[in-house]
Amino acid sequence: MFLILALVLVLLWIGGFMMFHVAGFLIHLLLILAVVSIIFHFLRGRSA
């Protein structure tokens, strides 16, 4: 679940950063949340 969430957040970040040229802090917050989601995914393992 966290891996899918991370993938969606990264895609939104790429779309916002490249297509709409949004360079504010909020668009980079998506990338930070995606990295946190990936970390949670690997820390939880297969227990879920």
Domain count, the chain: 1
Statement: residue 48 has pLDDT above 60: no
- How far apart CA 5 and CA 12 sit, in angstroms, is 11
Q: Whole-model pTM?
A: 0.59
The pLDDT of residue 18 is 76
Residue with tokens 């998506």: 30
Q: 17 pLDDT band (50/70/90 cuts)? A: confident
Q: 34 pLDDT band (50/70/90 cuts)? A: confident
Statement: residue 10 has pLDDT above 70: yes
The range of the structural domain enclosing residue 7 comes to 2-44
Copy the structure tokens of residue 24: 């504010």
